[in-house]
Chain A
Amino acid sequence: MNLSRRQLLKTMGAGSLGLALVGCAAPAAPAADGGGAAEPSAAATELTIWFHWGGAAGERAQEMIDSYNADGGAADNINVTIETVPGGEYRQKMTATRMAGTGPDTYHTAIPILELVSNEVALEMPDEDQAYVSDNYIGAAVDRMTFQGKIWAYPTEHQAAALIYRRSVLEEEGISEIPETMEELRDLAKALTREEDGIKFYGYTFNHDGYQPNFHFPGIVWRSGGELYEFEGDIPRTVTVNTPEAAFGLGWWRGMVDDGSTQIGEVTYNEAWQNGLAFMTEIEPWYPLIVLRDGGAEEIFEDLGVTHVRGRSGVDPTIQSGGWEILADRSTEHPEEAFKFIRWMMHGPDMPFSRFIVETIGSLPAPLDYPTPIEGWSDAMSQGYAIETTPITRPHPGLKALGDGELNQAIKETVQAVLLQQKDVEPALADLEPQLQEILDRTEGDREF
């Protein structure tokens, strides 16, 4: 068939118009036979929540939300849907969906409260929720949720490291208890390090290229008697890492490298533990649960002893904590329903979300009345993490700084350079301090308390 140009134009025009009409048409009405039996009733309030889990954890999370929809949700006529967003894409997707008016009603997120409030994301919690969090959660978790005197979210994960060790290895050496100070711990690591049949076993292990160099750095400085920043109210103003205390802490890490007691790249951290080459380390509870118990190293998991981290002689042990929180979006059209849903997940005695996080994902319990021993954990984990470590936690100071990402990067580069023996401890800290101060000055600027 031959079409003239004019006919072709007419045909294309008519086609485009037709397509446009089809595209603009109202969606088809639901089937009259009620094919969506699982659909909520017309009057139910629809809420969305962002989670980042896939796989088995994602399925467990879905079960929890299904349970809410059938229980509390049904009673309050609320139906919740999960939207899965990778953790690393939260910020970008938050920006895009909020601009488009399609943001979720509630989030489970690790973005610091300071950022969520400054960027007009977090919805202020009702007084009763603020009071509940204040009365029922441990101090460090409440502190992490607090900005400008208000509590903005419910803390969920409360991640902090404890000292884990292989009980059988220490028993072989005739050691029944872990020493009380960092100095003694370094000596023990050296004593435990050995080589058998060409295979090296490490007294202590570090992860030099993960999140630990920057996330664990404040804790190690605190436990050495120092501080990272001086605060003015909520705001970090002055960097204080070029100090003898910080040098002691970083020097303790470096000393393990110089002693040959730790692996820096010879084998990965996970391989060292999964293959029984490592005897001690500091790590959060998700690690033994997910990497060892669920990662095929059950024997090692069963052999683990757990206790709180050690401090320098004469300094109380303290450990940094971070984690996630659950909150409502400022642009939600259903704030009351959003907080009803959050309360169902977070309030005791059932606190299904806290139980899911602690038992499945592996974090310190942030609610004060969380029952111990913890289901699914070994007795050693319950004792070392939940009972000993929870009370000695402090929020990571970076969570109170607007330039957290840059500060972490600068710290990571410095710690890496020291652990890789590229730089000595004191000069590295002397270089680091002005870098951190420049970032603080630039990012905090004229922020007022």
Chain B
Amino acid sequence: MAVASAAQTHTTPFWRRRSFIQAATGWLFAAPILIYFTIFVFGPILASLAMMFFKWNGFGPLTQAEFVGLGNVTEVAGDEKFLGSFRNTFVYAIVVVGSGVIVGLMLALVLNGVTKFVGFVRSTYYLPVMLPMTAMALLWGLMFQVRYGFLNQILSFVNIPPVRWLINPDIALYSISLMVVWKGLGWYMVIFLAGLKAIPEEYYEAARVDGATGWQRFWKITLPLLKPTLLFVIVVTVIGSLQVFSPIFIMTQGGPANATNVVVYWVYMTAFQFLRFGYATTQAVYLFAVILVITVIQLRLFREGGLTSYY
């Protein structure tokens, strides 16, 4: 019998064998997404990596592209404006992520205890998240106006002189960060609320029985058990913050006097205004490398803090 089966296996063409059909079925189902990724993701990535070694203005024929070896790579490393844009981006990321996490967590803790109008209150806070960034940036641009802006009108009621929100190079980046934190607060809140709901109530009851104060319960129970949520929020928002573009493009165009010039905006300028596609691609690859390193560090830090036990 076994011999007969073996003989059959040898005589059956490979395309009629079960193993082939199973594999082919799998590949067939995966084919659309693989084709999509090959054309629209892997292709551009490879093209970008190749473009790093060329000088091309993105406008003329590709035959005009000139091979420059590592010229772009070394030039970007010493480009003061590019490095300046990195400094601004890091400041922005620290402010936005730090404020968003702290305020979002506080908000979630408060709303976690709300029992009436829960849906309404949460929806209200979440509303700005659903609004388009372009519209919000334009609206906040009006609110930031020095003389007639809403924020300075409010400040005038308490005799605070007008603030030059987007005009003063020393505060323009923080003003934009304020808008972005406000807009994203609902998202932080929802994620943290989900994390808080996942913490078993029994832990708190046991702590209360043991006489733990609210502060102690927060530090010893809530925060440690929120670590997976915190990791998710921080990793995602750090990556998003390092890629900030829209509010800068709409509200300040990198100004005043370069004070809000961030990396992605500068990459855009380099490619589409300065027509240096190879150089801009190199800048983008640098940004990718930085994001990759930061993300790996974040994952390691949290893992060392005991995160893996929750996954």
Interface positions of A (Cβ within 8 A of B): 5-6, 8-9, 12, 88, 91-92, 94-95, 99, 115, 118-121, 208-209, 264-268, 271, 403, 405-406, 409, 412-413, 416-417, 420, 422
Contact = CB atoms under 8 A, between A and B. Distances in A.
Contacts of A12: 28
B211 interface: no
23 contacts: A5-B21, A6-B21, A8-B25, A9-B24, A9-B28, A12-B28, A91-B58, A95-B60, A99-B62, A120-B61, A209-B255, A209-B256, A264-B167, A265-B167, A265-B256, A267-B145, A267-B146, A268-B145, A405-B269, A412-B255, A413-B258, A420-B168, A420-B169
A152 to B, nearest CB: 15
Contacts of A115: 59
Interface SS of A by simple majority: helix
A422 B257 contact: yes
B57 A416 contact: no
A6 B16 CA distance: 9
Contacts, number: 79
A406 to B, nearest CB: 5
Nearest to A275: B148
Given A5-B22, A12-B28, A209-B256, A119 B169 contact: no
Interface string B22-59: 10110010000000000000000000000000000111
B192 to A, nearest CB: 37
B129 interface: no
Nearest to A89: B272
Nearest to B258: A413
Nearest to A12: B28
A91 B59 contact: yes
Interface size class of B (residues with CB under 8 A): 20 to 34
A119 B257 contact: no
B272 A92 contact: yes
Contacts of A208: 256
A118 B58 contact: no
B216 interface: no
A406 B256 contact: no
Contact of A209 (B147, B253, B274): B253
B147 A267 contact: yes
A422 B169 contact: yes
A119 B166 CA distance: 38
* Nearest 5 CB-CB pairings of A with B: A265-B167, A119-B60, A405-B273, A417-B257, A406-B274
Contacts of B22: 5
A9 B25 contact: yes
B275 interface: yes
Interface in B239-277: 252-253, 255-258, 269, 272-275
A120 B146 contact: no
Given A115-B59, A209-B255, A420 B272 contact: no
